[in-house]
Structure 1
C-alpha cells in the first residue's frame, strides 16, 4: 500500500465532505479505501511501527465513516446499509456508525429497521458496557418514535 497516496486521498476526501461536495468526497475516499490491503508491516513488532499501524488503522476506519456519510448525503441509503452492518459488527461500540445505521433505513422510509438497529445498539451497549446510548442517539430514537420527518 502506498501510505502517502492513501493519506492524500483521505485528506482531500475529508476536506471535500466538509466543503459540501459529497460526490467528490465519496470518490476520493473510495479510492483511498481501495488502496487498503490490511495493516502495514504486521510482521514488525516495534513500538514505532505499532503506533503508526494504530494511527493508520484509525484513519482507515474514519475513511469508511466519512465515505458512508458522503454516500448517505448522495442518497445511496440502500447501498451503504450492508457496509454499515459489517462495520457495526466489527466496531460495536462506535456510536457514530450506529447513528448512520439508524438514518440509512429511516431515510428510505424503513423506520422499523431503524428502530430495530437502535434496540440492537442499546442492547450491546447495555450488556457489554453497562451504559445507555449517547444523548443525541436517544433523541434521534425519540424523533423516530414520534414519526418526525426524516
Structure 2
C-alpha cells in the first residue's frame, strides 16, 4: 500500500517514502486520506488545523500545505494524486493503495458473506480488514476535527471486531475467542455487546458461573460509576443463562466441527480505543 492512515500516517511511493513531517501538512494529508476519492472542502481543512481559531491567512496557508504535499508525493513517485476542484481538494487512491479503503472493503465483504451464510468467508474478510491496522489513527496529531475523525475510525474498528466475534460464536469457536474477549472487555468496559459476547462464550465453554460473574461485574460498574442499570439485552442474556435457555447452545450445524482459526489477538493492533457508550446489544440472544 502507498498510503497508510490506520496508525502513524505514512506514504511510501514507487520511488520511496514521502517525507511529510510538518504537523499542518500531516493534518491536511490525513484529512484527505480519511475522505479519499471525495472532495474535502477548504473550510473543513481549515477547521482541522485551527479549530475555531483560524487566522485571516488560513486559506493561503492551506494552499501552501497542499502545494508542499504535492511536491513530496511527486518525489515519492505519486505525482498527480491531489486535485484542486472548485469545492476543495481531492486525493485519489485505489482500494489496494490505502489501508482505510482496504479495511472498509473487507468489512463490506464480511457483511455480504455473512448475509449469504458463508460464515467462514465472513470471518476471513473481517480478519483481513483488522490486520491492516497498525495502531491509533492520526497518532501524534491534535485538534477537535482530527480527534473526531479518529474516534469514528476507532469505533468502526471495534464494530468489525464485534461482528467478527459474532461470526466466530456462530461457528462454535467460543473457546478460541474467550481470551480475546477478556482483553477487549478490559479495554472497553462500557461496550455491552462485547460483554454479552464474553458471557455467551464462557457459558458455551461450560463456565456458567464466570459468565454470570461477567454480568455482575458490568452491572456493578454501571450502577456504581454511572447510576445506570445494564441495557435490556444484557439483562435478558443473564436471565437466559440462568435458565439454560436453548438459544444459547452451540449451533448444531457446527458444534465441535469448528475449523481452527488464527486468534483475533494475532491480527488486531495492540492499542486501547476510547469507549463511546454501552455499544450494541449482543446478537447471539434474540427476544424469547
CA distance in 2, matches of 1:107, 1:74: 12
- Partner of residue 132, structure 2: 35
Structure 2: stretches of 5+ with no match in the other structure: 5-98, 249-288
1:90-105 matches, cutoff 5 A: 90-105=187-202
SS of the aligned residue for 2:180 comes to: helix
1:132 maps to 2:229: yes
- Partner of residue 110, structure 1: 207
Runs of 4+ aligned residues of structure 1 deviating over 4 Å after TM superposition are: none
TM-score (structure 1 length as normaliser): 0.90
- Partner of residue 50, structure 1: 147
Q: CA deviation at 1:43?
A: 2.4
CA contact (8 A) 1:9 1:29 kept: yes
- Higher RCO by CA contacts (8 Å cutoff, separation 6 or greater): 2
Q: CA deviation at 1:107?
A: 1.7
Q: CA deviation at 1:6?
A: 1.2
Render the CA deviation track for 1:100-134: whole Å, top value 9, x for unaligned: 01111112232112111111111111111111111
More deviation, 131-140/76-85: 131-140
Answer 1 or 2: which has greater strand percent: 2
Backbone CA RMSD of aligned residues: 1.6
Structure 1: stretches of 5+ with no match in the other structure: none
Could you say which structure has the larger radius of gyration? 2
SS of the aligned residue for 2:221 comes to: helix
CA distance in 1, matches of 2:171, 2:112: 16
TM-score (structure 2 length as normaliser): 0.49
Q: CA deviation at 1:40?
A: 2.2
